[in-house]
Amino acid sequence: MTTPLLSLQGLTKAYPGVVANDQVSFDIGEGEVHALLGENGAGKSTLVKMIYGLVKPDSGTMLLRGQTYAPPEPRSARADGIAMVFQHFSLFDALNVAENIALGMENPPAMGDLASRIREVSETYGLPLDPYRTVGDLSAGERQRVEIIRCLLQDPKLLIMDEPTSVLTPQEVEILFETLNKLRSEGTSILYISHKLEEIRTLCDHATILRLGKNVGECVPSETSARDMAEMMVGSTLQTPERSGREFGEVALDVTGLSVPSPSEFGTALRNVHMTVRKGEVLGIGGVAGNGQDELLGVLSGEILTTADAIKFNGQSIGKLGPTARRKLGVLTAPEERLGHAAAPDMTLTENAFLTGSVREGLESNGFLKWSETKVFAEKIIKAFDVRTPGPENAARSLSGGNLQKFVIGREVLQNPDVLVVNQPTWGVDAAAAASIRQAILDLAANGTAVICISQDLDELMEISDSFAALNEGRLSAPRLTTGLTVDEIGLMMGGAHGMEVAHV
């Protein structure tokens, strides 16, 4: 075999209390699409940060085409032909596309020349972009194009992509894969990080699987089943949530003609949203991030007020009621952002349990807190949802993402809601914890709660929801029964390809 493009040998990186990467070794060949698989916290991000020069390894070496490669900073990694598309976009909202791209280049040409090169490259690869648009106004898919084009303009030898498809519609994913296949045929190697196994099976030539910072196996994805790969990632057999046949009751939540402007400058306004959820039904709401999900959750939770009749709960108009009044009635919500929205990071779990549970659990009398009852409630959540923490006196910040997610979801579920709205309930949660959260949502629905689950994970929505609707630019498609829905139909509901086209040439 010829010299690989990049060879990692025994890379180790430890942070206080945790070894992020432990003796990781693998090779990426020339023109190969190499998948890096692993749960959240398996050390994928740390590994690519070392390759990109953001983090220095404690020990181990990297060889780039046989030469020692140890980038002191991203700048020199870029100079060596390594480019990276970040998971959380590293873009500047207030600047335009061309300025954003210039910031990621070593020696950018003058703005006018750069703009025409952006147009040229974006058309060649089927990723149309106007260089003078402000990035804050772009959709998630378009923002990703900005990142990709920023990389392509530097003729990379290795393109690192960190979970690129989590924000794309199925059609956009297909087009992205066309672009990546074209790059591969031109000899560019791609390191592709994801935990979406089917994608990896269609796209990648080779896969390396990380678990708890260690390389636990390699496989050829097209010859390995998704289930086998998942079990290599998790290290145990997976349990699929069970759903029992359900009967729906009467309409619990009725939203009619709901239109609200977004509270944030670069947010999306909701336009004429209609939906009904019956008792015992799980309504899944899909859509690419930034199409009104946060606004919809805000309107349903009472953080954003609207006209009284736009939202009805059991026939009662609640559009003008704030979050506490809605909680009292039985409409509970769990927002997406764990630290800062769903939980106060520096407060203890007991205090966080009080914050949303005080009304329904009676944790307050005449303005005084009932500490002992609150603590009992917090302990109940920890026990029922298997939250791994030494006790309820620990700060929310000290929990790992998955454990905190179990806590904030459990906190709402245990309050016996009549309507529960959750946004991204399993975002950044490992497969086992995700399965238990989904099971809890299904159990709740089986007991007659109407559940609205907003998520970008289509597999999750297909698994738990009875009916499905999609948000696109603030509009909600008409809900459809989940059974029999095809991926193409879902993609069209999500807004199709957003004007992207398949790569030319």
Partner 1 sequence: MDLSEINPVLLVASLMVAATPLLLAAIGELVVEKAGVLNLGVEGMMIVGAISGFAISVETGSPWLGFIAAAIGGAVLSLLFVLLTQFALANQVASGLALTLFGLGFSALMGQSYVGVKPPSMGEIHIPIISDIPVIGPVLFQHDPILYLGIALTAAVWAVLKYTRVGLILRAVGENHDAAHALGYKVIKIRIMAILFGGACAGLGGAYISLIRVPQWTEGMTAGVGWIALALVVFASWKPWRALLGAYLFGGITVLQLNLQAAGVAIPVEYLAMSPYIITILVLVILSADKSSAPASLGRIFHASH
Q: Using CB under 8 A as the criterion, which residues of the chain lie in contact with partner 1 when the complex forms?
A: 49, 53-55, 73-75, 78, 86, 89-95, 99, 102-104, 108, 265
Distance of closest approach, residue 51 Cβ to partner 1, in angstroms: 13
| Nearer to partner 1 among residue 84 and residue 500 (C-beta) | 84
State the CB neighbour count (10 A cutoff) for residue 315: 9
| Nearer to partner 1 among residue 89 and residue 248 (C-beta) | 89
Distance of closest approach, residue 451 Cβ to partner 1, in angstroms: 34
Distance of closest approach, residue 50 Cβ to partner 1, in angstroms: 10
Distance of closest approach, residue 144 Cβ to partner 1, in angstroms: 14
Do β-strands 450-454 and 364-365 pair in parallel, antiparallel, or remain unpaired? Answer: unpaired
Structure tokens at 368: 């005084």
Residue 281: name the closest of 138, 167, 411, 442 by CA.
442
| Nearer to partner 1 among residue 104 and residue 290 (C-beta) | 104
| Nearer to partner 1 among residue 108 and residue 241 (C-beta) | 108
Distance of closest approach, residue 263 Cβ to partner 1, in angstroms: 14
Instruction: Report yes or no: 162 and 190 within 8 Å, Cβ to Cβ.
Output: no
State the CB neighbour count (10 A cutoff) for residue 120: 11
Q: Which long-range contacts (CB under 8 A, 24 or more apart) does 322-331 make?
A: 324/359, 326/301, 326/302, 327/356, 327/359, 327/360, 327/415, 328/359, 328/360, 329/418, 330/360, 330/416, 330/417, 330/418, 330/419, 331/253, 331/300, 331/301, 331/302, 331/417, 331/418, 331/419, 331/421
Structure tokens at 70: 């140890």
Distance CA 399, CA 352 (A): 13
Report the chain's C-alpha Rg in angstroms: 24
| Nearer to partner 1 among residue 94 and residue 487 (C-beta) | 94
Distance of closest approach, residue 191 Cβ to partner 1, in angstroms: 17
Distance of closest approach, residue 44 Cβ to partner 1, in angstroms: 15
| Nearer to partner 1 among residue 103 and residue 478 (C-beta) | 103
| Nearer to partner 1 among residue 22 and residue 99 (C-beta) | 99
